[in-house]
């Protein structure tokens, strides 16, 4: 059993729903997952394992509800050494170069913070999947084994 803190960035609820469904799935898989919202830097430093689930807004930007935490992580730079961290990015490939920009920014930051990647990032394209759960489920199944 592993404890997983889920941090979510969402404008219109897609990533939010996926975060809640992911917590339920991980709990059914025998882990102890919860969506932390609003989250502060202390939630990050105290987390055992972390799952970021974020959509992209604007032009490759991080949603307003996750941005303060992201900026705080950038400025305070809490090392994530020894923590297993994974990222699910929601986006839309019709946005071109900024596709999944928020998830990519988070992914780059956790790399700099020396996190152990539990899984390669999952990018979910709204053009391809109407329902993000479809690609997320097998990815979460693999994550549940890696925790």
Ligand X SMILES: Cc1cc2nc3c(=O)[nH]c(=O)nc-3n(C[C@H](O)[C@H](O)[C@H](O)COP(=O)(O)O)c2cc1C
Q: Which residues bind ligand X (CB under 6 A)?
A: 10-16, 55-60, 63, 90-92, 95, 98-101, 126
For ligand X, the closer of residues 58 and 120 by Cβ is: 58
Nearest CA to 110 out of 147, 90, 80 is that of: 80
DSSP 25-60: HHHHTT-EEEE-SS--HHHHHH-SEEEEEEE-BTTT
Residue nearest to ligand X (CB): 91
Q: Name which of 63 and 106 has its Cβ closer to ligand X.
A: 63
Question: What length does the chain have?
Answer: 147
Would you say 64 or 111 has its CB closer to ligand X? 64
Question: Considering the complex, what minimum distance in angstroms separates the CB of residue 9 from ligand X?
Answer: 7
Question: In whole angstroms, how close is the CB of 57 to ligand X at the nearest point?
Answer: 5
């Amino acid at each position: 059993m592993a404890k997983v803190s889920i941090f979510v960035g969402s404008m219109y609820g897609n990533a939010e729903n996926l975060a809640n469904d992911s917590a339920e799935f991980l709990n059914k898989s025998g882990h102890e997952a919860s969506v932390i919202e609003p989250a502060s830097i202390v939630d990050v430093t105290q987390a055992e394992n972390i799952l970021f689930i974020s959509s992209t807004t604007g032009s490759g930007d991080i949603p307003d509800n996750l941005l303060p935490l992201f900026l705080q992580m950038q400025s305070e730079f809490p090392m994530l050494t020894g923590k297993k961290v994974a990222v699910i990015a929601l986006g839309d490939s019709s946005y071109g170069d900024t596709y999944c920009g928020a998830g990519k920014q988070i992914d780059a930051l956790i790399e700099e913070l020396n996190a152990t990647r539990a899984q390669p990032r999952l990018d979910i394209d709204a053009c391809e999947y109407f329902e993000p759960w479809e690609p997320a489920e097998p990815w979460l199944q693999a994550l549940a084994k890696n925790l």
